Structure 1
Amino acid sequence: MTTGGDAALVERFLEMMAAQVGAAPNTLAAYRSDLMLASSALDGRLATADGDAIAALSATWLPLASSTVARKAAALRRFYAFLCEEGDRDDNPSDALPRPAARRTLPRTLDHHDVDRLFGVISERLAGAPLPSDLRLAALIELLYGSGLRASELVSLPRGAVHPDRPYLILRGKGGRERMVPISDRARAAVAAWRAHVDPGRAFLFPSGRGHLSRIRLYQLVKTLAADAGIDPDRVSPHVLRHAFATHLLEGGADLRALQSMLGHADIATTEIYTHVDASRLVDLVNARHPLVDLTRERP
């Protein structure tokens, strides 16, 4: 049986979990074990398995403890969400997996005050004569929060991807799929200031060594910025900034289909998680602001 193709995708997934989510080493080891055991059971076709194959695999877990089943299902569910997010799959077979009783958690995000604190630190660094590293950080954060780019998309941007006179960039994903991503005036200005310090001979906008900035280094830069802004670094990552981009756009009235296009989600179901985030905000708003709340408070 061959698991080579699966193994490469699993390692990419684990790299993302380490760089963007900050998963602990024990968690990464457990995910690697569960995913590679599943790959072996599916003859090396975990990444391309359909719902029937996943259901058959799940059936072999029946003798296991419920906590073990929940862990295995969670590993596969996150793996398939990653494949969809990266454009390696157009569909998600996770519905065939057993679902633990625990309530699905909403993606971590930041409120507007948190974002203001992050940009406040950047503004202070840009005052006067900023270092090139400060200009790079400003460009990275403007693109992360202002355009909702994936970490992998951001660090691998070509040097000329962002044009000073074009308010968008075109990203090409897996299978040749393209999507248009809006770029704010602020982000274009930040990129222009940084690009002036990039060797014209370099292929990438954020070069490092012989290639481009790594996702792990991006993760470290974001964590350091959060700490400097007085925010718990555990609350902030490149992926959290992408979630903040989506959540704040939806709060501002963005259309879900437009958000799906900007985020590059192949399946609208992936984007719909943000309706739950927005719904939770609306529930709080109703409980705090609805006129009937005041009537209830006035009753003896």
Structure 2
Amino acid sequence: MRLRRLIQKKSKKFIIKKLSNNFSTLFQAFNMSKRPYSDIPYVNVKFKKNSSLAKKNDDILLKIDGVILPKILETGNFDVFLINFLKKKIKKNSVFVDIGSNHGLVTRQVSNISLIKKIIYFEPVKEIFDLSVFNTKNIKNIERNNYGWAKKEGYKLFFENPSNSGDFSLIPSKQRTIKHKFKFANAKTELKKILNNNKQKFKIILKTDCQGYDIELFSNFDAKYLSNIYMYFLEIKDIGNNKKNFYRNIRLFDKIFVSIPSVHNGIKEIHFDQLKNYFNYKVEFDLILLNNIK
């Protein structure tokens, strides 16, 4: 019996040591655990030093997951490539439009760029939207919208990956096992509204992070709207049935950049004819489109 207890004690210490600093495994184990009587809807993360995301002693609220929360704890940053690209390339006063803003982490960092004069963001998931409101509470000239963008308006099935609080999508997958229904507006109507309401004639920077649905939105936009976009950030992996409209809309932009860490370091400018090659890698990558609007 004493030997058994000793083995159990040593095994426990071994497991604890192995799990130390392995935040992804720890938090995914939490999400897989049954919690019949109570739950932890989110955690308060306090920063111990300055980063692009927060200043020392700042707090942000995050859901417990195996992707975003571990990344913030380990690096203190989120999607740094996008922020650095904006700092380098932005030359004019702009409006940043964030579609699928999630916890508001990109919005929070973008707000520190002096040429960003206004931020408009959209997040359909009420629970995460409420966290984003807290995370962006000190930002001026911001418009928050608790709904998403889709090709058609209405309340739609929205699929959640419980291991990744950033993986909600209108497109189901093996990982997105939880179903919800949330409000979505017509994307064309929303973009038209933003362009028409831009009385100061600021440049429009559009970022979509819709977990596979980015292609659907981009391919469905009319040329007259896209020609007025200064920068367009989107995540893509597969064109699907949108090949014709996708490449038609790509040609509307003057410059094409890609970020795909598994293939090359940093952000690379490419020609139109090179873009097709990136789909052969069968991995998700970030596409950045730029217009030389005067």
Shared fold per TM-score greater than 0.5: no
By percentage of residues, which structure has more helix?
1
Give the structure-2-normalised TM-score: 0.25
Give the structure-1-normalised TM-score: 0.25
By percentage of residues, which structure has more strand?
2
